[in-house]
Chain A
Amino acid sequence: MAGTRSAEKPGFWIAFLVVVAVLAVVPLWFPNSFWQRLLTEVLILGLLAMSSDLLIGYVGMVSFGHALFFGTGCYGAAYALTWTESPFALWLALLLGLAGAAVMGIFVAFYSTRLRDIYFSITTLVFAQIFWVIVFTWTDVTGGENGLVFSPPRLSFLGLFAAEFTTMSMHWFVLAVVALCYVFCRRVTQSPFGKVLQAIRENEPRTRAIGYNVERHKMGMVMLSALVAGLSGALYGIFNAYAAPDYFFFLQSGETVIYNVLGGIGTLAGPVLGAGVFVLLKELFSTYWSPEYYLIPVGLLFTIMVIYMPQGLLGFLRHKLNE
């Protein structure tokens, strides 16, 4: 309604807290740590998908190179953790991951203002692949195809306490970061700044004609998207205690776009759901079928979804609930 002053619709925070609580508690009943770790992985990949949704869903720029930020974040964290075992190692790792992604973000933000549509997508793809080759071949620095292995940091907070990560404390830590990022990203997309980006997505020339500097807004969102993707990469590194060149590879970028389409573009939460469905399917198909072929049924399902459920799972559910 026009004139409403409340920021979020009633029920939003309740729904948010219920989902977070469920995600926090449910893994306690999982039969073993394998499924617990799988859920944590879904959250991290979901965060990557969410970062990509910031561009796809809210600016209309499809990045096929989000693995670049993810990989850089992961290697940034890896370097921090191979150097130091200080009580702040966890936070240093996250910080270095973010810094690495920010540097990559500057490059992509720069050409995002000059390239649009498919040209932007292709350039992000090529740019990411270049770094994949560098990481893959520059063995002295990056560990080459073996990647970097390191010991995971201890969970610490402001020097108040420090403890070894357990499967569950890792899960809760990741959940806390992802939940905070969701609230932050949602607020940004609903802010005056975010609304300008949605205007750009709707009608770029008109947005310019009413006095907005389109380039500056696009660069801002690309930077934010890069940082969130870098954070997810850093979390993934800490979670696996391992950084692999695969994280830079196109497959990672492609899957990120698939999470978005499966879950629902422009919903932020949808891509997390999409990541969950994708990872679960991949796991099931790999168990009952030869692992290499999991992409065949996933591809079929993807095609069916694009035809019959183009708004994604969350968009579809929302539509059904509104009926």
Chain B
Amino acid sequence: MSDSTYPLITKKLTMHFGGLAALEDIDLAVERGTTHAIIGPNGAGKSTFFNCLTGLLRPTSGRVLLEGQDITGLPPERISQRGVARSYQITNIFPGSTCLENIRVAVQSRQPTSSFLQHHRTDATTLEGAVGIIETIGLGGKEDVMASSLSHGEQRNLEIGIALATAPTLLCLDEPTAGMSASETRDVVELIRRIGASLTILIVEHDMQVVMSLAQRITVLDYGQVLAQGTPDEIQANPQVQEAYLKI
């Protein structure tokens, strides 16, 4: 496996909580430019896997390689600076700030220094970057609205926008359509498809229709282990997966 084709590689990634093996020897390689889905029943270890990737948890053993560099066990802010961004299953935004500020502060994190004497509104580069992201996530015109007064669907988009604003090389989306209506789901799938055209995405999702329409590759987790990997067609045809997850 060459590093340039696979921006993210995990090698025997293992996470134990006491006696419980939440993840056991996960080998995974995400190909550049693809959207890679991780599916599995509740408690399969999907969120734990994300938490290990993004530094919220320090894996018990195994390694996480980003662009060939070992990022295992680095703190979240360092991993973010290396280029891994994530959105959360439960909306995780800055509720008391405006939409624009939510995105602006994330864009600003890529500036080399954060000055303490410049007024933030005079930093045109950051501001223009933020306005661009807001257009992308379909919240144009809502720049000055408090994030807490957005609808659930809009907050989910903002959630993705904050992650996107850090200009990541790998974007991890944790159930981006959680709690969304059918039409909101369609919009967010469209958004992810657009982002995915130029970005490597790792997505955890329960909605099979969403997974099948977005992902080029799928990894199935069950009881903390990789049950199967392959294209959507292969996964749908796999009898083990059908038994464990699709319940057909």
Contacts and interface: CB of A to CB of B under 8 A. Distances in A.
Interface in B97-113: 97, 100-101, 104-106, 108-111
A3 B94 contact: no
B143 interface: yes
A192 B97 contact: no
Interface in A220-243: 220
Interface stretch (A150-158, A173-181, A196-204, A268-276): A196-204
A3 B77 contact: no
Given A2-B100, A196-B114, A202-B94, A211 B120 contact: no
Contact of B115 (A5, A193, A202, A206): A193
A210 B121 contact: no
Interface in A53-68: none
Contact of A195 (B101, B110, B117, B134): B101
B94 A188 contact: no
A188 B109 CA distance: 17
Interface in A1-48: 1-8
Contacts of B119: 7-8, 187, 190-191
B77 A206 contact: no
A213 B86 CA distance: 17
A30 B208 CA distance: 77
A1 B111 CA distance: 22
A97 interface: no
A206 B124 CA distance: 24
Counting chain B residues whose Cβ lies within 8 A of the other chain, the interface size class is: 35 or more
A8 B94 CA distance: 23
B92 to A, nearest CB: 5
Contacts of A199: 94, 97, 105
Contacts of A194: 116, 120
B117 A187 contact: yes
B162 interface: yes
Nearest to B80: A211
Contacts of A209: 54, 76-77, 80, 86, 92
B143 A191 contact: no
Nearest to A1: B144
Interface in B46-77: 54, 75-77
Contact of A192 (B80, B93, B96, B123): B123
A5 B122 contact: yes
Given A4-B121, A213-B77, A193 B95 contact: no
A241 B224 CA distance: 70
Contacts of B115: 191-193
A193 B127 CA distance: 15
A116 interface: no
B95 A5 contact: no
B166 interface: yes
B92 A205 contact: yes
A214 B77 contact: yes
A318 interface: no
13 contacts: A1-B144, A2-B131, A3-B131, A5-B122, A190-B120, A191-B120, A199-B94, A203-B92, A208-B80, A209-B86, A210-B85, A210-B105, A211-B109
Shortest Cβ-Cβ A-B pairs, 5 listed: A211-B80, A7-B119, A193-B116, A2-B143, A202-B94
Interface of B: 54, 75-77, 80-81, 85-86, 92-97, 100-101, 104-106, 108-111, 114-124, 126-127, 130-131, 134, 143-144, 162-163, 165-166
Given A191-B118, A209-B77, A211-B80, 17 more contacts: A2-B143, A6-B122, A190-B120, A192-B118, A195-B120, A199-B94, A202-B97, A206-B92, A206-B94, A207-B105, A209-B86, A210-B80, A210-B106, A210-B163, A211-B109, A212-B109, A217-B114
